Amino acid sequence: MTPNHPDAEGQPTGQVEVGDVVEVEVGPVAHGGFCIARYEGRVVFLRHALPGERVRAVVTEAKEGQRFVRADAVEVLVASDHRVQPPCRFAGPGLCGGCDFQHVELGHQRELKAAVVREQFSRLAHLDVDVVVEPVPGDVDGLGWRTRVEFAVDESGRAGLRRHRSHSVLPVDTCLIADDRVVATGVLGRDWSGSQAVDVVAPSTGEPVVVPVPAAGAAVGEDGPPTVVEHVAGHRFTGDFQVSARGFWQVHPGAAATFVDAALEALAPREGETALDLYSGVGLFAAALAESVGPGGKVVAVESDGDAVAAAAANLAARPSVLALRARVDDAFGVARPKRSGPGSRAQRSRKLRRHPLLPLRADVVVLDPPRTGAGKDVVAQVVALEPRAVAYVACDPAALARDTASFLEAGYRLSGLRAFDAFPMTHHVECVALFER
Ligand SMILES: C[S@@+](CC[C@H](N)C(=O)[O-])C[C@H]1O[C@@H](n2cnc3c(N)ncnc32)[C@H](O)[C@@H]1O
């Protein structure tokens, strides 16, 4: 293959196939852990490269008629000053898909993530934001932070991690971003035949827990997965939370306290106020809000996962001002679920839309912490209809946050604060806490 013409924007020329090696100038970072390059009129989504570099890359995905291909940089011709030797020997082209930025100096990883957040807000919310990605307290070198890891199991029963955009499992004997206690359980040397995965949780209190996930169709055992206790010690809130070993909890040991502190600082909840915690998990933000609004206030938490709501009931039992509802947030507001095809869509069409009778009609403050898909415009409209003075939006996907920001802006709210945290060093993921005010 001949070198490209970097400014070629026209129709793709020639064939590009998987396995071809192309030489490209690397352009800006994009959302998803890759950089943008161009090759003969095609956009190249390029992993293992850095903006400003010149690399040879092997094409990993190419479809006829598509204007983009995916590729991995395999040879660096002109290196960025921010390039480092990946600390993990399983990081690199064709290897483990878990980390995207092992080849990038840690401070620069955060600059790249900030650039992605800025770009998403500019493109999707038409807003220029000034954002710095802050380290999560306690992080030194971006390694050893992951307290929850799901290892995949290959056909011969070996535990490992999946390759990028693949079901193929790369057997590993360590994972450098995992908490040392995860690897010390010895799960990586054992035979896991009969399991499709093995979960390891190293909670902030007690011993690590190993949960084999039986092959598809089989149940996780009669009593379900074990429960762990997570201790949160922030500047503004301290508490203990029961969490199912297979349920949601922030994976970075400093993240839960950091996000609670950030949300409380942004909202400044007052005694006697009504607060909503939407997508509430095991009740982390609900507990913190309850403490702030006091016994004269009220907190309503909404979460769809049954195990999480059961854990929340236990976690919040000593806080009578909190009501934990088991419901999808869109169902609780009585709005249609996002359209999707496949199983469930018929039930969805025939479902009556009725607002949950225990959901308040007004709220002073709201915490929104949705999954990667975001809250969506219908839920944002319902949140706005509560006329809260402030909304703290905790977001694991900057694109979804930027889309929902556009809905808040349209409804007359302004983005009055935005913080971003490096809760997932070495990966492209970034967590944001945004404040919307009326
Ligand atoms: C990012 S987690 C946040 C959990 C909690 N706020 C925390 O910090 O631990 C998102 C939560 O939303 C729940 N969830 C996903 N879709 C939902 C929906 N449509 N309605 C209600 N909860 C949902 C998930 O089960 C998960 O507990």
Q: What angle do CA 57, 61, 63 make, to 5 degrees?
A: 125
> In the listed set 50, 83, 116, which residue is the last one of a domain according to the structure?
83
- Does residue 343 lie in a domain region? no
What pLDDT digit, counting tens, does each position of 86-120 carry? 999 999 999 999 999 999 999 999 999 999 999 99
Residues 151 and 78 in one domain: no
How many separate domains does the chain show? 2
Q: Is the CB of 261 under 6 A from ligand 1?
A: no
The span from the first CA to the last CA of the chain, in angstroms, equals 56
Residue 215: its pLDDT value, please? 85
For ligand 1, what atom is nearest to the CA of residue 256? 8
Residue 425 lies in a domain: no
Would 35 be classed as within a structural domain?
A: yes
Please name the amino acid found at residue 333: F
Average pLDDT of the chain is 94
Could you give the CA distance from residue 79 to residue 54 in angstroms, rounded to a whole number? 7
Q: Mean pLDDT across the stretch 366-385?
A: 98
Answer yes or no: is 187 within a domain. yes
pLDDT tens, position by position, 122-160:
999 999 999 999 999 999 999 999 999 999 999 999 999
Tell which atom from ligand 1 comes closest to the C-alpha of 370: 10
Last residue of a domain, one of 208, 224, 240: 224
Ligand 1 centroid to residue 280 C-alpha, Å: 6
Cβ neighbours for 206, distance < 8 A, ≥ 6 positions apart = 228, 229
Does some domain include residue 351?
A: no
Q: Is the CB of 308 under 6 A from ligand 1?
A: yes
Using a 6 Å cutoff on CB, does residue 280 contact ligand 1?
yes
pLDDT in tens, 314-350: 999 999 999 999 999 999 999 999 876 455 555 555 6
Q: What is the CATH number of the domain that holds 47?
A: 2.40.50.140
Q: Is 396 a catalytic residue?
A: yes
Whether residue 399 is contained in a domain is answered as no
pLDDT digits (tens, 9 = 90+) for 29-56: 999 999 999 999 999 999 999 999 999 9
CA of 374 to the centre of ligand 1 (A): 10
The answer as to whether 278 is a domain residue is: no
Tell which atom from ligand 1 comes closest to the C-alpha of 373. Answer: 16
Is residue 51 a part of any domain in this protein?
Answer: yes
Q: What angle do CA 248, 252, 253 make, to 5 degrees?
A: 100
Structural domain that includes position 180: 146-224
Q: pLDDT per residue over 229-279, tens digit each?
A: 999 999 999 999 999 999 999 999 999 999 999 999 999 999 999 999 999
Give mean pLDDT, residues 157-178: 97
The residue out of 195, 224, 253 marking a domain boundary is: 224
